[in-house]
Every structure is written in structure tokens, then in C-alpha cells.
Amino acid sequence: MLKALHARKPAQLLIGLLLGIAFGFLLQRGGATRYGVIIGQLMLEDFTVVKIMLSAVVVGTLGVHLMKSIGLAELHVKPGSVGTSLIGGLIFGAGFATLGYCPGTIAGAVGQGSMDALLGGVVGILIGSGVLAALYPRLSRGVMAVGDFGDVTLPRLFKVNEWVVVVPMVALIVLLLWWLESAGL
């Protein structure tokens, strides 16, 4: 791994900025920073968002696992639980549909001039994050701890080599995307 580069703080801030610029450019050009595109996805009318996400997962998972196997990358798996991932995910989903942007795409929406994102959504996200931070000590010992499964990955869960999961998952996603296209979605 490029440990020396990872330890250089100013260089890292610059890399973060540059990767962000490319990420924002792609999200905006893909239409994912548009309220209508996100709502269209959640109404199951327009599958742009799912197509972007799943093709990123296909390309990303192959490259990241390849880099991992030659020692150029390590995984950063987030721990989770039923109380954290499922309940938090459902609350997020309610926000996703009500706001029509997500934390990444709202930054892109601000860049393209969406004032509902800048003056409404961003303010709401900052307040919501702050309230969660205030409630965190109680939540993390209560509902968030329910059904803990830790930082496990699918390969570790099934006790198999990671490629045994990655390759079929990629195949499954490609099939799903092909099906979406042939269904005209």
C-alpha cells in the first residue's frame, strides 16, 4: 500500500478534493443530482440511480478486491446491526423520498443551482445529524445494539474465499442490469 502517501495530510486533503470534483462531475452528468431522477427511481419509473450504483459496484468490487489480493488496498468494512443498519436505513429512506437527494447528490445539487437543496435540504441534514449526535449515547446502548453482526462481510459470513462471493455477485448484477434494459426500464 502507498502508506507514505496515506500519511501526508495536506496531500490527502488535495486528493479528497480532486476525487470529489470527479465524483460531483459524474453524479451531475449522470442525472443523479436531479430531484426528478431520484424520485423517478423511488417511484420505480426511471432506473438511472440504480444503474449508476450497480455499475459502480461491479467495477469497484472487481478492482478493489484485485488490489486487495496484491496488497495495494485493505477493506474498511463498517460494523452494523439490525438496529443500526435496518432501522437507520429505513429512516434514511424516508428522508431520501422526502428530500429527493442524498448526502452526496445534494452537494452536487447545490453545485448545479438547486436552491431547495442548499437552503432546505442541507439545513435539514445538519440539524438531523446534530440531533442524532446528541441522542447517540442513549441510542447506541439501546436500539442500535439490537441484532449486532459486527463488521462481517458476505465472504466471511459464508466462510468462503472472497472471489466465491464477488464473481457470482457481479454476474447477478450484470444479469439484473441486462434485464432492466430488456424490460425497457
Partner 1 sequence: MDFWTLERWSPYLVGAGIGVLSWLSFLLSNKPLGCSTAFAKTSGMIERLFRGSGVDQKEYYRKFPIQIDWQWMLVIGVVIGAFFSAALSGSLRLEWVPGRFESAFGYAPVLRWVVAVIGGFLMGFGSRWADGCTSGHGISGTLQMAVSSWVAAISFFVGGIAVAMLIFRVIAG
Window 64-83: residues binding partner 1 (CB under 8 A): 64, 67, 72-82
Q: CB of 168: closest distance to partner 1 in angstroms?
A: 11
By the rule CB under 8 A, 177 interacts with partner 1 = yes
**CA dist 26 to 41, 52, 74, 135, Å?**
18, 10, 25, 35
Q: CB of 4: closest distance to partner 1 in angstroms?
A: 11
By the rule CB under 8 A, 90 interacts with partner 1 = yes
Among all chains, which residue has been given the C-alpha cell 419509473?
Answer: 45
Q: Please give the residues from 107 up to 146 whose contact with partner 1 meets the rule CB under 8 A.
A: 107-117, 119-134, 136-137, 139-140, 144
DSSP 150: E
Q: Write out the DSSP string of 23-91.
A: HHHHHHHHTTT-HHHHHHHHTTS--HHHHHHHHHHHHHHHHHHHHHHTTS----PPPEEIIIIIHHHHH
By the rule CB under 8 A, 162 interacts with partner 1 = yes
By the rule CB under 8 A, 167 interacts with partner 1 = no
- Nearer of residues 76 and 159 to partner 1, judged by Cβ: 76
By the rule CB under 8 A, 175 interacts with partner 1 = no
By the rule CB under 8 A, 176 interacts with partner 1 = no
Residue of the chain from 2, 159, 183, 184 that contacts partner 1 (CB under 8 A): 2
By the rule CB under 8 A, 93 interacts with partner 1 = yes
Contacts of 77 (CB under 8 A, 6+ apart): 151, 152, 153
By the rule CB under 8 A, 28 interacts with partner 1 = yes
- Applying CB under 8 A, the site for partner 1 has a residue count of 127
Q: Distance between CA atoms of 148 and 76, rounded to whole angstroms?
A: 18
Residue 148 pairs in a beta bridge with: 81
Q: Distance between CA atoms of 71 and 66, rounded to whole angstroms?
A: 9
- Nearer of residues 53 and 171 to partner 1, judged by Cβ: 53
